[in-house]
């Protein structure tokens, strides 16, 4: 999407970052005998490396232990705590006598009170219910395995119940631009009724609550990690001489969020609640596109069950364009994407290589052999031009609606048309009967290749970039592109079969 909007001439600030605070990092640090900071830095560097090799084009991929984020989150929460949307509540909390500590969210495991699934103490992976550790059935300490007891404690809460009407108004206004799973799950939260949620917790790893005199109480990481979008944008603005308020208050901007379905609640409820509650005027999400999970050969990805599938593993085996194409084609907001190796290999060999790669290679080879690599600009072929224009129109609509899979399939309808057109026009015969007519046909083939390379650029930028280079095209936008006189440089098969 970031590449698409850039090619549409939009100024884009594409940000995300590593969520470094919270119990997963703290628990992993205990397991490895390292400091949480060391664990956070180690994994952040791994994420940066993987995202780079997957060909992501972040303008700023940050992490939440950076000073810029700490300062932004502290100030944001200072302002927040001075409103009546945050209050202090006394409540009995789970306490582990063996570990000598109160147990926040993922320090507790047990059964979901809603569906009975074994889960952690912040939300259920199976039914999506937002939880507090005290709600779990038969809770256990995730560190030592003992059964915790209840003890009096206090935390600060964000009053979602008081924000419910504003959040519902926001939802009703924006939901038509959201993915179906984001709409359905968020609607369910409203039907169940929003309840106040703890915004602080007892943990020694996190951003301290901005209240004087408190020790070991930190901001719940869901209350600060989503602010990383803003702090990363602010950091980018400062580096590039931009006015952060132009971006953060929606001054002509559109805010688009893309994530997995388990993060819906944090983007459709929590993040907007924080923004509404804060006295500063921040722009609320415009589009929320949530995608379902990835499974491996029909099974949930799990290290313990031996079904783990990692991006690094796939990158070591396959061309990055193959992965990008397959996931773009199959990603969905309605069902899980099952990574099946046979289906993956058949899809790549049959579609990306046999259809797209083969059309490129045989067209360029024909031009190289029969016309010494040079084709003059020809009169327009209305059928070809209209087909390309319609593909751009439909693809743009799909991408802007978060329907990446539909966009990818639409582009490959044009690839199929191109191959059929090549076969039906039979240039190998026409060259002997009418060379001028054959050159016009070759101009059509190259026009199709050029525009397909542009259409595919956001999805498979590596292969697309090669094709554009072979056509000596350096500047292009995401629209029908007229081919000028073409001179084919050296080229080679676009992809090797797997």
pLDDT score at 382: 95
pLDDT score at 107: 87
- Whether pLDDT at 301 is above 90: no
In 181-286, DSSP assigns E strands to 197-198, 200-202, 217-219, 256-260
> Is there a single domain that holds both residue 79 and residue 111?
no
**How would DSSP label each residue in 137-171?**
EEEEETTT-PPPEEEEEEEEEE-HHHHHHHHHHHH
Task: Report residue 130's pLDDT band, with 50, 70 and 90 as the boundaries.
Answer: confident
Task: Report residue 14's pLDDT band, with 50, 70 and 90 as the boundaries.
Answer: very high
**150 falls within a domain:** yes
**400 falls within a domain:** yes
* Structural domains in the chain (count): 3
pLDDT score at 104: 84
> Is there a single domain that holds both residue 201 and residue 245?
yes
Task: Convert the pLDDT of each residue in 186-240 to its tens digit.
Answer: 999 999 999 999 999 998 899 999 998 888 899 999 999 999 999 999 999 999 9
Average pLDDT over residues 386-392: 98
- Whether pLDDT at 303 is above 80: no
pLDDT score at 203: 87
Reduce the DSSP state of residue 281 to 3 states and report it.
coil
**410 falls within a domain:** yes
**74 falls within a domain:** yes
pLDDT score at 245: 94
What is residue 214's DSSP assignment? -
Span between the terminal Cα atoms of the chain, in Å: 28
What is residue 13's DSSP assignment? -
Report the percent of the chain where pLDDT is more than 70: 100
> Is there a single domain that holds both residue 183 and residue 63?
yes
Q: Are 324 and 459 in contact (CB under 8 A)?
A: yes
Rounded to whole angstroms, how far apart are CA atoms 280 and 271?
14
> Is there a single domain that holds both residue 432 and residue 348?
yes
User: Among the three residues 291, 319, 354, which one is the final residue of a domain in this structure?
Assistant: 291
Task: Convert the pLDDT of each residue in 433-488 to its tens digit.
Answer: 999 999 999 999 999 999 999 999 999 999 999 999 999 998 999 999 999 888 89
> Is there a single domain that holds both residue 259 and residue 148?
no
**303 falls within a domain:** no
Reduce the DSSP state of residue 497 to 3 states and report it.
coil
pTM for the predicted model, two decimal places: 0.92
> Is there a single domain that holds both residue 347 and residue 441?
yes
> Is there a single domain that holds both residue 91 and residue 131?
yes
Tell me which residue of 366, 330, 371, 375 sits closest to 348, measured CA to CA.
Answer: 330
User: Among the three residues 108, 128, 158, which one is the final residue of a domain in this structure?
Assistant: 158
Reduce the DSSP state of residue 485 to 3 states and report it.
coil
Classify residue 207 by burial, with Cβ atoms within 10 Å: 0-12, 13-18, 19+. buried
Task: Convert the pLDDT of each residue in 86-109 to its tens digit.
Answer: 999 998 999 999 998 888 888 899
**313 falls within a domain:** no
Average pLDDT over residues 105-128: 88
Task: Report residue 493's pLDDT band, with 50, 70 and 90 as the boundaries.
Answer: very high
Q: CATH number, domain at 101?
A: 2.170.220.10
Average pLDDT over residues 284-307: 91
> Is there a single domain that holds both residue 31 and residue 176?
yes
Question: What is the rounded radius of gyration, in angstroms, for the C-alpha atoms of the chain?
Answer: 27
> Is there a single domain that holds both residue 80 and residue 92?
no
**How would DSSP label each residue in 355-401?**
IIIHHHHHHHHHHHHHHTTEE------HHHHHHHHHHHHHHHHHHHT
Contacts of 158 (CB under 8 A, 6+ apart): 80, 85, 86, 196, 197, 199, 223, 273, 274, 277
User: Among the three residues 256, 291, 326, which one is the final residue of a domain in this structure?
Assistant: 291
pLDDT score at 281: 87
**188 falls within a domain:** yes
Report the percent of the chain where pLDDT is more than 90: 86
Q: Are 163 and 277 in contact (CB under 8 A)?
A: yes
Classify residue 382 by burial, with Cβ atoms within 10 Å: 0-12, 13-18, 19+. exposed
- Whether pLDDT at 386 is above 80: yes
Q: Are 231 and 222 in contact (CB under 8 A)?
A: no
CB atoms within 10 A of CB 363: 22
- Whether pLDDT at 125 is above 80: no
> Is there a single domain that holds both residue 176 and residue 32?
yes
Rounded to whole angstroms, how far apart are CA atoms 338 and 274?
35
Rounded to whole angstroms, how far apart are CA atoms 154 and 1?
43
**Is the dihedral angle over the CA atoms 218, 220, 221, 227 positive or is it negative?**
negative
pLDDT score at 250: 80
Checking phi first, is residue 373 left (phi over 0); if not, alpha (psi -120 to 50) or beta? left
pLDDT score at 129: 80
Q: CATH number, domain at 432?
A: 1.10.730.10
| Among the ranges given (18-27, 60-69, 119-128), the one the predictor scored with the smallest mean pLDDT | 119-128
pLDDT, mean over the chain: 95
Q: Are 219 and 77 in contact (CB under 8 A)?
A: yes
Average pLDDT over residues 132-150: 92
pLDDT score at 24: 85
pLDDT score at 306: 82
Q: Are 36 and 25 in contact (CB under 8 A)?
A: yes
pLDDT score at 251: 80
pLDDT score at 258: 97
Task: Convert the pLDDT of each residue in 285-294 to its tens digit.
Answer: 999 999 999 9
pLDDT score at 183: 98
Task: Report residue 302's pLDDT band, with 50, 70 and 90 as the boundaries.
Answer: confident
**Residue 462 domain boundaries:** 341-487
> Is there a single domain that holds both residue 34 and residue 59?
yes
**181 falls within a domain:** yes
């Amino acid at each position: 999407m970031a590449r698409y909007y850039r090619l549409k001439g939009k100024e884009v600030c594409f940000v995300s970052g590593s969520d470094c605070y919270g119990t997963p990092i703290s628990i992993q640090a205990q397991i490895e005998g390292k400091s949480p900071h060391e664990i956070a830095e180690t994994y952040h560097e791994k994420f940066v490396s993987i995202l780079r090799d997957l060909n992501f084009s972040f303008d700023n991929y940050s992490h939440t232990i950076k000073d810029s984020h700490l300062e932004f989150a502290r100030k944001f929460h200072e302002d927040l705590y001075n409103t009546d949307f945050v209050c202090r509540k006394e409540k009995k909390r789970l306490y582990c006598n063996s570990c000598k500590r109160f147990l926040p969210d993922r320090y507790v495991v047990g059964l979901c009170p809603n569906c009975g699934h074994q889960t952690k103490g912040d939300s259920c992976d199976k039914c999506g219910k937002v939880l507090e550790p005290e709600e779990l059935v038969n809770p256990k300490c995730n560190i030592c395995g003992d059964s915790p007891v209840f003890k009096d404690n206090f935390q600060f809460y964000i009053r979602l119940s008081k924000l419910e009407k504003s959040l519902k108004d926001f939802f009703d206004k924006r939901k038509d631009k959201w993915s179906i799973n984001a709409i359905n799950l968020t609607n369910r939260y409203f039907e169940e009724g929003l309840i106040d949620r703890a915004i602080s917790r007892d943990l020694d790893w996190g951003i301290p609550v901005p209240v004087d005199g408190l020790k070991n109480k930190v901001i719940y990481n869901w209350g600060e990690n989503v602010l990383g979008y803003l702090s990363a944008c602010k950091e980018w603005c400062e580096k590039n001489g931009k006015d952060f308020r132009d971006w953060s208050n929606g001054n002509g901007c559109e805010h688009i969020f893309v994530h997995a379905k388990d993060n819906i609640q944090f983007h459709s409820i929590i993040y907007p609640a924080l923004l509404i509650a804060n006295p500063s005027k921040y722009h609320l999400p415009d589009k929320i596109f949530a995608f379902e999970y990835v499974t491996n050969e029909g099974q949930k990805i799990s290290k313990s069950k031996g079904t783990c599938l990692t991006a690094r593993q796939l990158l070591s085996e396959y061309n990055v364009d193959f992965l990008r194409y397959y996931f773009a084609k199959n990603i969905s907001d309605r069902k899980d994407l099952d990574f099946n190796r046979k289906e993956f290999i058949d899809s790549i060999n049959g579609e990306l290589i046999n259809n797209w790669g083969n059309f490129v290679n045989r067209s360029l080879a024909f031009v190289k052999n029969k016309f010494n690599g040079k084709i003059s600009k020809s009169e327009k072929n209305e059928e070809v031009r209209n087909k390309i224009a319609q593909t751009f129109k439909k693809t743009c609509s799909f991408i802007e609606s978060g329907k990446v899979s539909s966009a990818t399939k639409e582009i490959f309808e044009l690839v199929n048309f191109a191959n059929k057109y090549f076969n039906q026009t039979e240039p190998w015969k026409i060259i002997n009967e009418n060379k001028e007519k054959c050159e016009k046909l070759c101009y059509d083939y190259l026009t199709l290749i050029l525009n397909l390379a542009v259409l595919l650029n956001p999805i498979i930028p590596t292969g697309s970039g090669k094709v554009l280079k072979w056509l000596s095209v350096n500047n292009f936008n995401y629209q029908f592109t007229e081919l000028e006189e073409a001179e084919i440089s050296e080229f080679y098969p676009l992809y090797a079969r797997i």
